[in-house]
Amino acid sequence: MIPLQAATRETFWTIGPVGKAAFYWLAAVAVLVFLYGVYARFAAYARGSADPRDRLSNLPGRVVGATKTVLANENQFDGDLYTGVMHTFVLWGFLVLLVATTILGIDIDIYRPLTGESFWVGDFYLAYQFAVDAFGLLFVVGVGMAGFRRYRSREGRLWGKHTSFEDDAFVWTLFLLGVGGFVVEGVSMVGQPQRATETVSFVGMALATGLETAGLTAAGAEAAYGVIWWSHSLLAFAFVAWIPYAKPFHMISSFANVVARDEQAGARLPNVPADLDHTNAESLDDFTWKELMDGDACTKCGRCTDACPADTVGRNLDPRNVILDLKAYRESVSDDPVAGSGGGPVATDGGTAAVSDGGVASSAAVNDGGTVPIVADEGGVIDAESMESCMSCMACMDACPVDIEHLTSFTKMNRQLVDEGAVDSNLQDVFQDVMQKGNTFGESQSTRGDWADDLDDDVDVPDARETEVEYLWYVGDYPSFDDRNKKVARALARLFDEADVSFGILFDDEKTDGNDIRRIGEEFLYLELAGHHVETFADCEFENIVCTDPHSYNTIKNEYPEVDFAEFADDPMMPFDREEPWNPAGEVDVFHWTQVAEELVEAGRLGLAGDELDYTVTYHDPCHLGRYNDEYEAPRELIRATGADLYEMPRSRDDSFCCGGGGGGLWTEHEEEVKPSEERLREAVEDTDAGADIEKFVVACPMCTTMFEDGRKTGNFEDDVEIVDVAELLIEAVEAGS
């Protein structure tokens, strides 16, 4: 038996001096090609426009956070255990093999020349060999899992119009590298008898035993080893050189994307500068370096498309294709040396961008007049209908494992359509109503507070412009003007009164908050609304703001403080006279009403015992309260406080399925197989554990109420379930306990 301290092996067994020299030369070439490709990629991002967010602030902290996220594979595990396990095996196997190769290189090329001896012996060598075999096996298993999922059926989320040879090449190259390494090890062990007791190399030992059983002799192994070793080495060099030029680059760009992520992306949109020369998405020059990097970070996994409610119901939107179409177009018109190598379409002389049935350009090209428009009704890289189909629900961003910020790019293209006047006629009418009347209903602002007239005489709704209050209540358009949602406003007023809350409203000085106006692209109208409201807030005395609608809650909380009013102070089109930012330090707390009511219940101010109601209910998470602002518990605590039996739908919390009202969906009609609201109601009464026993479908958003009341009629659910707001359920419980 070989003494423990002597345990080692010859690295370049059977490889002569010429072979070693060729190996190092090829390694140097591969590394140089790799470095140049990485440089060219990041140089291309640098040519993008400046990003309005400081995405590199606290860079060390960002890198540490991204490292934890990536190494833990937490985004891959989110909702998909199989993918999480698969990616963990591949990632950790790859990293350990990379570290092992680096350690061996340090020993051979640095430590040995300096000291005349090797540290790659004895216990260290044996531990090294065990780790390499263990993680190499996990790597091969992980790649096999990836191949199984990809090829078991040539459909599903991994397959689409951007699926190409590079996807197959990536999987098979990794698999051949993993298996090839073990073959090299097994043949080496057959040909080197001194390694016969190296049982820590358990995979290599098993393979060597199999090869010997198949008839491979030591002499045969020695003869074949050089060919096998070179085949493995050349494939490894080719892979290293290929990384920056195709899909493998996501190993770098995805990490960079996580480092540069904006934790509040989508919930707060980038501002438009007061620049007459500014354009939104007229050309690729308008896209920021982060938006360009998003395209390279995309792994084509299709999670965003799977999560997208618009795609689910058959609307003309595939989030993955939008991101990849933009990338393909960039590569087709770019003079970058790495462009056009990622499997995307390539420019052809005189070609045009053809729009596919999926609503996005099936090829990105250059026509005789120059580059094609980024977004257009016909002939654009992205079809305008795709952007109009987006519900701004952020399901795509929540599902994305590499933090691609779809909604930022989508809004940029919506702004371009608005600039060109190329938006749905219904949206044009909404814009007109808001500009002329201040609300999306086109009603007189003088009637905005009329919903309160039907309250009992003992319930008073004070005017926050005339009296100091604790809570300035921003009621919102739908609770103010929509007959169904007026009931919600009255229920909430009664709850505040019951709990003796000091509150007041703005009456006709309250206008549309602008959240959805902004997300469908009307940035300057949004600015007018924000300016009006913050000036109105400044004239009132209050401690906090409470909102009925999660859409209002989001934009007042997250976006109003971001507006640089001073930049537009001299613009005669802006009807506000303000230069200071509003609430930049968060001195005014902004709440959704359920958050306030939860505290009231906990304090016993609503007198609930917790057993007043015995309904069987389910709850729908509004996108703007849940995914946008991470508030999931307050509405649920209020439902439980009534005594109702709450059952969760399969898609709940951050996986909630949009009602279809966001992003202008309330005001537009779409060709779709089934309405999002109908699909959601079906899920409630068919897929929830309580099934047909569900009596009430509980919501916490006026827009959701509107959409689900419509879906209840059009989907024939009127006899199956009732739509109620949490406020209505809560006031019923309060009255039942009185």
Token digits of residue 493: 């007023």
Backbone φ and ψ of 650, nearest 5° = -55, -40
Amino acid letter, residue 421 = G
Three-state DSSP class for residue 725: strand
What does the pLDDT average to over 24-36? 97
Name the β-bridge partners of 545.
472, 590
What pLDDT, on a 0 to 100 scale, did the predictor assign at position 343? 43
- Which of 21-30, 146-155, 463-472, 484-493 shows the lowest per-residue confidence on average (mean pLDDT)? 146-155
Query: Which helix H or strand E contains 97, and what residues bound it?
Result: helix 81-106
Cα separation, 299 vs 320, whole angstroms: 9
Yes or no: say if 619 and 698 are a contact pair by the CB < 8 Å rule: yes
Query: Which helix H or strand E contains 533, and what residues bound it?
Result: helix 523-538
Name the β-bridge partners of 547.
474, 592
DSSP labels, 567-625: GGTT-TTS-----S-SSTT--SEEEEHHHHHHHHHHTTTT---S-S---EEEEPPPTTT
Amino acid letter, residue 605 = R
Band (pLDDT 50/70/90 cuts) for residue 7 is confident
- Kindly tell me if the per-residue pLDDT of 309 is higher than 90: yes
Yes or no: say if 469 and 588 are a contact pair by the CB < 8 Å rule: no
pLDDT in tens, 100-132: 999 999 999 999 999 999 999 999 999 999 999
- Kindly tell me if the per-residue pLDDT of 358 is higher than 90: no
pLDDT in tens, 600-636: 999 999 999 999 999 999 999 999 999 999 999 999 9
What does the pLDDT average to over 41-67? 94
What does the pLDDT average to over 560-577? 90
What does the pLDDT average to over 414-430? 95
- For the sheet with 589-592, list strands across it: 503-504, 469-474, 542-547, 589-592
Burial status of residue 46 (CB atoms within 10 A of its CB: 0-12, 13-18, 19 or more): exposed
pLDDT in tens, 373-394: 999 999 999 999 999 999 999 9
Q: Which of 360, 390, 356 is nearest to 374 (CA)?
A: 360
What pLDDT, on a 0 to 100 scale, did the predictor assign at position 367? 46
For tokens 């190296």, the residue is 198
Token digits of residue 26: 């090829």
Q: Is the pTM of this model over 0.75?
A: yes
Token digits of residue 372: 């094609």
Cα separation, 196 vs 186, whole angstroms: 11
Cα separation, 349 vs 328, whole angstroms: 16
Share of the chain above pLDDT 70, in %: 94
Domains, the chain, in order of start with CATH, read: 4-9+77-228 (no CATH), 282-422 (1.10.1060), 433-601 (3.40.50), 608-736 (no CATH)
Amino acid letter, residue 122 = G
pLDDT in tens, 504-562: 999 999 999 999 999 999 999 999 999 999 999 999 999 999 999 999 999 999 999 99
pLDDT in tens, 295-304: 999 999 999 9
Q: What is the 3-state secondary structure (H, E, C) of 330-346?
A: HHHHCCCCCCCCCCCCC
Torsion sign, CA atoms 31, 146, 321, 363: positive
Name the β-bridge partners of 619.
698
Greatest CA separation for the chain: 102
Three-state DSSP class for residue 268: strand
Yes or no: say if 561 and 582 are a contact pair by the CB < 8 Å rule: yes
Cα separation, 491 vs 485, whole angstroms: 10
pLDDT in tens, 147-200: 999 999 777 889 989 999 999 999 999 999 999 999 999 999 999 988 888 999
Band (pLDDT 50/70/90 cuts) for residue 336 is low
Question: In sequence order, what are the residues at sequence separation of 6 or more whose Cβ sits closer than 8 angstroms to the Cβ of residue 708?
Answer: 620, 659, 677, 680, 681, 697, 699, 723
Amino acid letter, residue 166 = E
Band (pLDDT 50/70/90 cuts) for residue 356 is very low
Between strands 370-371 and 366-367, the pairing is antiparallel
Q: Average pLDDT, whole number, for the chain?
A: 92
Yes or no: say if 494 and 461 are a contact pair by the CB < 8 Å rule: no
For tokens 């040909």, the residue is 191
Band (pLDDT 50/70/90 cuts) for residue 353 is very low
Backbone φ and ψ of 242, nearest 5° = -80, -25
DSSP type of residue 376: E
- Which of 11-25, 240-254, 274-288 shows the lowest per-residue confidence on average (mean pLDDT)? 274-288
Alpha carbon dihedral 306, 307, 311, 313, in 10-degree steps, equals: 110
What does the pLDDT average to over 83-103? 97
pLDDT in tens, 660-691: 999 999 999 998 889 999 999 999 999 999 99
